[in-house]
Amino acid sequence: MDNFQIRTDLALEARESVNEEESKLRGVSVEEHYEEEADLRITKVTIDTKNAEKMLGKPMGVYVTMEAPAMVEPDDDYHREISEALAEELLKMMPQEQEEQSVLVVGLGNREVTADALGPQVIDNLLITRHVVKNYGKAAYNCTRMNLVSSIEPGVMAKTGMETAEIISGVVKETGPDVLIVVDALAARSTRRLNRTIQITNTGIQPGSGVGNHRNALTQETLGVPVIAIGIPTVVDAATIVGDALEKLMSGEKEFDAVKYMGTMESKEKKTGTTYHFHMIISGGLSRDEMEEIWKKGLCNASKLRIDDNELMQKLCQYITKKIDRKEKHSRSYLCSRNLKNPIIKKNDWKFSHRKLNELAGLTDCPEVWESIYIGYQFIEASAVFSDLNGWHVMAKLKRRDVKQKK
């Protein structure tokens, strides 16, 4: 992983991921509706501006998210309720220029991989009508109105040697559908949304984006017809599992309320496949035995960390953040608990005069001087560099004395 940036295809999660200040940006509107009887929450996120599109990393358009926690249960009656609600939301996004429409349903994914088989399985359960209506008319179904439904399962590039967009583009040119409905498995940021959430959007879709395997997009701009994408999250990033497991533990046990953590994930390629390991810093409350009991996904080892070892702590921080890409605004190389407080950065460029800097440049080895300037901080080290253009540049490292080590 070049950056620790948990992938998500859900616009709702992208909206939740921005901080409080950025969440007020113009161009994003959120409407929420909860149906208590069906335990169904419907959230509509509309992205109207290019600035909002860049901030959230999602194309401009409408995203409807349906959250149904009980959808994973084998309850046919409940599934029927969700299906009816899904049909209502889908109809709102369908072009309304004509009563009868030709609809091409595209089932993306690989049916041989369970987590990627959603599209092909949907195709298996469709009522295909296009060929019947064209050959025998609507009378074959004993009705006066009938949409022409056709479908295609383009498979994956490894088997066909063709881009999905190339296949679909050819089919669209030959059959001339009025609208495309694309069904695909998605990636989520939260494990609680796996198989419990449905997203519908009028922005189209980019096959493989959920697992970082970007292919040519299927959109109205590339295909020439409206594209509606429907997806259910079936995969999450490996780091999400760790974060969610720790969050669940600490929110469920009273004695762990004050526990904080930060860590990073690394991958290693082996002949048997890719393996992952995590480096975590956890502030008290958990023993190694408890961590092993919680993890249950492999080996777990822990050792006590001395936070008074300044050199060790600096190296540890450098290690955790070593892969961060400063060009990506929302990317980071680490995962952390939500109860961490962001440091307050204060810049006082006016605090020291040139005369004072000249004096401090010769006092880089005097802890008492720096600790008298920064009350409540412990001196670590300082250095000074002279520039013919700007004069002395002095850097000092200090640590707050009120940091307490917890068992």
Tell me the whole-structure pTM to 2 decimals: 0.65
Kindly tell me if the per-residue pLDDT of 159 is higher than 50.
yes
Residue at 346 is within a domain: no
37 and 153 housed in the same domain: yes
Could you tell me which residue, 36 or 206, shows the higher pLDDT? Answer: 36
Task: Indicate which CATH number applies to the domain containing 213.
Answer: 3.40.50.1450
Q: Rg for the chain (alpha carbons), in Å? A: 28
% of the chain surpassing 90 pLDDT = 30
pLDDT digits (tens, 9 = 90+) for 10-27: 888 888 776 544 555 678
Q: What is the pLDDT of residue 41?
A: 92
User: How far, in Å, CA of 277 to CA of 120, rounded?
Assistant: 33
User: How far, in Å, CA of 153 to CA of 174, rounded?
Assistant: 16
Q: Are 3 and 323 in contact (CB under 8 A)?
A: yes
Q: What is the pLDDT of residue 3?
A: 42
254 and 380 housed in the same domain: no
Q: Are 29 and 11 in contact (CB under 8 A)?
A: no
Residue at 278 is within a domain: yes
Q: Residue 131 CA to chain centroid, in angstroms?
A: 41
**Average pLDDT of the residues in 330-338:** 63
Residue at 93 is within a domain: yes
pLDDT band at 2 (very low <50, low <70, confident <90, very high): very low
- 110-124, 217-231, 280-294, 357-371: which range is least confident on average? 280-294
Its domain, for residue 303, covers: 239-336
pLDDT band at 220 (very low <50, low <70, confident <90, very high): very high
376 and 281 housed in the same domain: no
Q: What is the pLDDT of residue 244?
A: 66
Residue at 3 is within a domain: no
45 and 98 housed in the same domain: yes
Kindly tell me if the per-residue pLDDT of 161 is higher than 80.
yes
249 and 116 housed in the same domain: no
Q: What is the pLDDT of residue 1?
A: 38
213 and 284 housed in the same domain: no
User: How far, in Å, CA of 363 to CA of 372, rounded?
Assistant: 13
User: How far, in Å, CA of 88 to CA of 90, rounded?
Assistant: 5
Residue at 345 is within a domain: no
Q: What is the pLDDT of residue 246?
A: 62
Q: Residue 386: what residue type?
A: F
- What is the tally of structural domains in the chain? 3
pLDDT digits (tens, 9 = 90+) for 177-209: 999 999 999 988 888 888 999 999 999 987 755
Burial tier of 46 (Cβ tally within 10 Å: 0-12, 13-18, 19+): middle
Residue at 2 is within a domain: no
**Average pLDDT of the residues in 334-347:** 73
140 and 219 housed in the same domain: yes
Taking the CB of residue 59, how many other CB atoms lie within 10 A of it? 18
Q: Are 360 and 394 in contact (CB under 8 A)?
A: yes
- DSSP-assigned letters across all residues of 163-211: -HHHHHHHHHHHH--SEEEEEEEEEES-GGGTTTEEEEESS-B-TTGGG
41 and 132 housed in the same domain: yes
Q: What is the pLDDT of residue 374?
A: 87
User: How far, in Å, CA of 47 to CA of 52, rounded?
Assistant: 6
291 and 173 housed in the same domain: no
Q: What is the pLDDT of residue 247?
A: 62
313 and 278 housed in the same domain: yes
How, if at all, do strands 227-236 and 197-201 pair? Answer: antiparallel
305 and 363 housed in the same domain: no
195 and 272 housed in the same domain: no
pLDDT digits (tens, 9 = 90+) for 234-245: 988 776 676 666
